[in-house]
Amino acid sequence: MRKIGGPSLTGHVGSETSVCAYERLRDGRRESYQPEENVVRTDPQQPHGSRIDLYVDRYADRARSMIASEIRALFAVAARPEIVSFAGGSPNVAALPLDVIGNMASQLIAGHGSVALQYCPAHGDPGLREKICEVMALEGVHAHPDDVVVTVGSQQALDLITRIFINPGDVVLAEAPSYVGALGAFAAYQAEVLHVPMDASGLIPEALDGAIARLAAAGQRAKFLYTVPNFHNPAGVTLAADRRRRILDICSAAGLLVVEDNPYGLLGFEGEPMRALCADDPDGVVYLGSFSKTFASGVRVGWAVAPPAVRDKLVLAAESAVLCQSNLAQLLVREYLCTQPWREQIKIFRELYQQRRDAMIDSLEALMPAGCQWRRPGGGFYVWMRLPAGLDAKAMLPRAVSSRVAYVPGTGFYADGQGAQHMRLSYCLPEPDRIREGVRRLAGVIEAEIDLRDTFGSGGMHGTVGVDTPGPEVP
């Protein structure tokens, strides 16, 4: 707030001596003036800068392909307490021993602050890299700490791997559907994504073979295959053990690098963790891991394990992106792994997510109208649901939010416009009772949508019903 009277106002809104009430943009901020108060108020809520993009014709081509994820737009709405959100993939960090972690953090700073608050090697803290090798041994991987590059979540590893391999127009093979954050990274580097179908047992080897052959016939070769083999986000399926060797053989015959993104591998509800693809072909696979789902997403610690030449490029790319990542976060994770019963904690997470999976599947079975299809995930966070024919999950979303339930429409998980008839439902965060209530609300919205369809036909529905995905098939 400031008193006026200086020459700055003349020429804008009247003479210096008689200024009338006004509202205007000044330096991009909304400003209002009431003559009786003789003060100018600046709206503190207004962001700085004009909303008009003065640089619209100057961005690099790659900036044009950067698009906000479907999930980001939803976060603000889905966070409202009255909404049951099945939208995010946020882990249930409240189940961690927060007091213990708080003490660890304060001791780290008070006792070792001169190291913890300092820069560290771009490669990552050596002690943490050793512990990461221990974690990966649970999936049959015997990596050396030198093979590990610590990253700012596995999202940064996705960005780095895309950055070092992709020129504009290069092809990436990815499951249909695929993780939205990976698609965002691929789009940012102007990759072309070719989706390969899945079924109940994950990526279909024959379909992968076919995609590689089609590319070859067109004189093209994909740069890598991106796959989430365990408890897929969003499809919920897991690559069957007998398919793993075949996928590796197909890729190796085609000289195709595999990017194995595995944040959920230790969150299976039954049996032992599956053997990682990387365990059987360390030269043909870059493995991406994360502590986001087994510890805490807010620490932003993930990693990549890569063959030495690729690892060196990843380190160079990481240096140019962030110089090094947070030493404090790395040391906190290292301390947690060294001093806390982390395997027990993962078991607690597994049981908690299993209960929520059960709550979701039981209520879907009890409440969803005929024509909705899904399958029971064996771990992880997600149910992928197919709507009855003629319904469009994206067009329906505003009506769902009005009914206080949110999900992510399937279109976010495809680079080519498929997915309109699907939605991703996350059960990781709401309590079981809230899950049941959310499914009840969602069932009501879908029933109303079916009524609309039956009354007006799908041509009368809002939005477009896109080409639908061939997989994963749902029962």
Least distance between ligand PMP and beta carbon 381 (Å): 8
Under 8 Å between Cβ of 295 and 336: yes
Report the SS3 class of residue 354.
Answer: helix
Least distance between ligand PMP and beta carbon 31 (Å): 40
Choose, by CB under 6 A, the member of 292, 363, 411, 418 that binds ligand PMP: 292
Under 8 Å between Cβ of 367 and 440: yes
Least distance between ligand PMP and beta carbon 301 (Å): 8
> Is residue 202 a contact point for ligand PMP (CB under 6 A)?
no
> Is residue 155 a contact point for ligand PMP (CB under 6 A)?
yes
Pattern 209-248, ligand PMP, x by CB under 6 A: -------------------x----x---------------
Largest alpha-carbon pair distance within the chain? 85
Choose, by CB under 6 A, the member of 153, 202, 268, 409 that binds ligand PMP: 153
Least distance between ligand PMP and beta carbon 21 (Å): 50
Alpha helices in 189-275 (DSSP H): 205-217, 241-254
> Is residue 290 a contact point for ligand PMP (CB under 6 A)?
yes
Looking up tokens 């108060």 gives 37
The partner residues of 261 in beta bridges, in order of sequence, read 288
Q: 148-171: b or e for each residue (b if 16 or more CB lie within 10 Å)?
A: bbbbbbbbbbbbbbbbbbbeeebb
Near ligand PMP in 351-380, by CB under 6 A: none
CA 262 – CA 289 distance, rounded (Å): 5
Alpha helices in 230-369 (DSSP H): 241-254, 277-280, 308-322, 327-339, 342-367
Choose, by CB under 6 A, the member of 124, 125, 154, 364 that binds ligand PMP: 154
Choose, by CB under 6 A, the member of 177, 236, 263, 410 that binds ligand PMP: 263
Near ligand PMP in 112-141, by CB under 6 A: none
Identify which of residues 157 and 368 has a Cβ nearer to ligand PMP in the complex. Answer: 157
CA 255 – CA 275 distance, rounded (Å): 22
Looking up tokens 């140019």 gives 320
Residue nearest to ligand PMP (CB): 153
Least distance between ligand PMP and beta carbon 119 (Å): 21
The secondary structure element, H or E, covering residue 436 is helix 432-456
> Is residue 159 a contact point for ligand PMP (CB under 6 A)?
no
In this chain, which stretch among 47-55, 274-282, 289-297, 365-373 interacts with ligand PMP, using CB under 6 A?
289-297
> Is residue 326 a contact point for ligand PMP (CB under 6 A)?
no
Choose, by CB under 6 A, the member of 70, 89, 396, 418 that binds ligand PMP: 89
Least distance between ligand PMP and beta carbon 62 (Å): 20
Identify which of residues 426 and 469 has a Cβ nearer to ligand PMP in the complex. Answer: 426
Residue 124's contacts (CB-CB under 8 Å, 6 or more residues apart) are 148, 149, 150, 151, 303, 325, 330
Choose, by CB under 6 A, the member of 230, 297, 363, 469 that binds ligand PMP: 297
Total residues interacting with ligand PMP, rule: CB under 6 A: 14
Residue 332's contacts (CB-CB under 8 Å, 6 or more residues apart) are 101, 104, 105, 108, 299
CA 237 – CA 222 distance, rounded (Å): 24
> Is residue 184 a contact point for ligand PMP (CB under 6 A)?
no
**Within 13 A of 402's CA, how many CA atoms are on the CB side?**
9
> Is residue 392 a contact point for ligand PMP (CB under 6 A)?
no
Least distance between ligand PMP and beta carbon 37 (Å): 49
> Is residue 85 a contact point for ligand PMP (CB under 6 A)?
no
How are the residues of the chain apportioned to helix, strand and coil, as percentages rounded to the nearest 5? Answer: 45, 15, 40
φ and ψ at residue 32, rounded to 5 degrees: -130, 155
> Is residue 179 a contact point for ligand PMP (CB under 6 A)?
yes
> Is residue 261 a contact point for ligand PMP (CB under 6 A)?
yes
Residue 265's contacts (CB-CB under 8 Å, 6 or more residues apart) are 139, 229, 230, 231, 273, 274, 276
Identify which of residues 19 and 288 has a Cβ nearer to ligand PMP in the complex. Answer: 288
Binding-site ranges for ligand PMP (CB under 6 A): 89, 153-155, 179, 181, 228, 233, 261, 263, 290, 292, 297, 302
